[in-house]
Amino acid sequence: MTTEVAIVGIGMHEFGRTEGVSGMDQGVIAVRRACADAGVSWEDMQFAFGGSMAAGAADTMVSLLGLTGLQFINVANGCATGGSALFSAYNTIRSGVFDLGIAVGFDKHERGAFRVNTKGSGLGDWYGASGLALTTQFFGMKINRYMHEYGISQSTLAKVSEKAFRNGAMNPMAWRRKPISEEEVLNSAMLSYPLTQYMFCSPGEGGVALILARADKAHLYTDKPIFLKAAVVRSRRFGSFEVLAPSIALEHNAGPTVDASKAAFEMAGMGPKDMDLAQLQDTESGAEVMHMAENGFCEHGEQEFMIQAGETEIGGKFPVNTDGGCLANGEPIGASGLRQVYENVLQLRGQAGARQVPNDPKTAYTHVYGAPGISGVTILSR
């Protein structure tokens, strides 16, 4: 018999650019805020999982938070670092080893597109030298093929960005808080055809911490526990089309998102129709479109109608990326997946303020995707 798990405290450091505050310090601030939210102190933490890609080893933050001797394990898993920290924390409680612990992710990246470490990614120097080591190219190529196959329009890509910045404008923690019109999105610089500047998120900064407890003890910390019904991470299978791939197979596999999504729904005993809202990886606007179908929320091609009709707006049938997503928040790799869960906890508690999804949502879904072909999914319920 496994133990149920609840999220009893959440903390975040503002996303964006915070001059003079290190990535690690942003993680520490997120931890302090999460402890305050749960009404606990750092000394109460029995274990921690944490990670960043570019801002240092997470376990060194104990020298700032307090040397309590807790079990602290660093997690480094590319874009799924936050998701992997959460997965590990979830299973640590489920297995009965500990009752209360924390998952933390933070980061601080240099400006501009990610500089890919070709050696660290198992790629030859020639790959980067030849101008192929850019994650942005993959996103342009994947959505270009998808538009060709399923009839998605440029206008729909722009509407995804327009929605993200409109939602971001209602989120005090977001980086980009100025609405940008569909026309402005379409007319911004073409970075990687068919994707323009305002269709891409930017590497950024931020930190998020989530405190998890045994569900039967959650009432000690909060009167609004949010239950973690599933946390899944999957890597790619043969034939999937992934970022930073010098070649891909002729045969096609649907990819790690489809696998992670199916596994998560099975674990939760729920299906896509049971979800009230979702945060889906939107590294660029095309990714949000494709991930709606890959996660099972529609058939391929149906996004064109759904997005044009406003169904994924906060007041729509199925709200997606209510906090502005990566597009409005930027992407501090270590924290990005945890940001999605943070937003869903706010939405399920009814604490999302101006961007609160109406009609008292009861279930929420998160999905993160990244290099080198990895996906993480969580399902939350009240």
Partner 1 sequence: MAQVPVTEGVFTWPSESPQLIGSRCVTCGNHMFPVQQGCPKCTGAETEEVLLGRRGTLWTWTVQGFPPKAPPYAGDVDPKTFKAFGVGYVELPGQLKIESRLTEADPEKLKIGMEMEMVIVPLSTDANGNEVVTFAFAPVA
Kindly tell me which residue out of 41, 63, 95, 130 binds partner 1, with binding defined by CB under 8 A.
130
Kindly tell me which residue out of 109, 142, 176, 229 binds partner 1, with binding defined by CB under 8 A.
142
Amino acid at 47: F
Q: Residues 323 to 342: which contact partner 1 by CB under 8 A?
A: none
- Report, in Å, the least distance between residue 57 CB and partner 1: 25
Q: Which is nearer to partner 1, 39 or 124 (CB)?
A: 124
What is the spatial distance between Cα 230 and Cα 212, in angstroms, rounded to a whole number? Answer: 13
What is the spatial distance between Cα 13 and Cα 72, in angstroms, rounded to a whole number? Answer: 20
Q: Which stretch binds partner 1 (CB under 8 A): 58-66, 191-199, 293-301, 321-329?
A: 191-199
- The H-or-E segment that residue 205 falls in is strand 205-214
Count of residues binding partner 1 (CB under 8 A)?
Answer: 37
Whether the Cβ atoms of residue 306 and residue 269 lie closer than 8 Å to each other: no
What is the biggest distance separating any 2 CA atoms in the chain, rounded to whole angstroms? Answer: 57
What is the spatial distance between Cα 288 and Cα 295, in angstroms, rounded to a whole number? Answer: 10
Whether the Cβ atoms of residue 105 and residue 117 lie closer than 8 Å to each other: no
Q: Which is nearer to partner 1, 123 or 352 (CB)?
A: 123
Kindly tell me which residue out of 57, 190, 309, 354 binds partner 1, with binding defined by CB under 8 A.
190
- The H-or-E segment that residue 261 falls in is helix 256-268
What is the spatial distance between Cα 18 and Cα 326, in angstroms, rounded to a whole number? Answer: 17
What is the spatial distance between Cα 104 and Cα 99, in angstroms, rounded to a whole number? Answer: 17
Tell whether residue 133 is a contact of partner 1 (CB under 8 A): yes
Binding mask 232-271 for partner 1 (x = CB under 8 A): ------x------xxxxxx---------------------
Q: Which is nearer to partner 1, 246 or 315 (CB)?
A: 246
Positions touching partner 1 (CB under 8 A) are 112-113, 115-116, 118, 124-134, 137, 140-142, 144-145, 148, 189-195, 238, 245-250
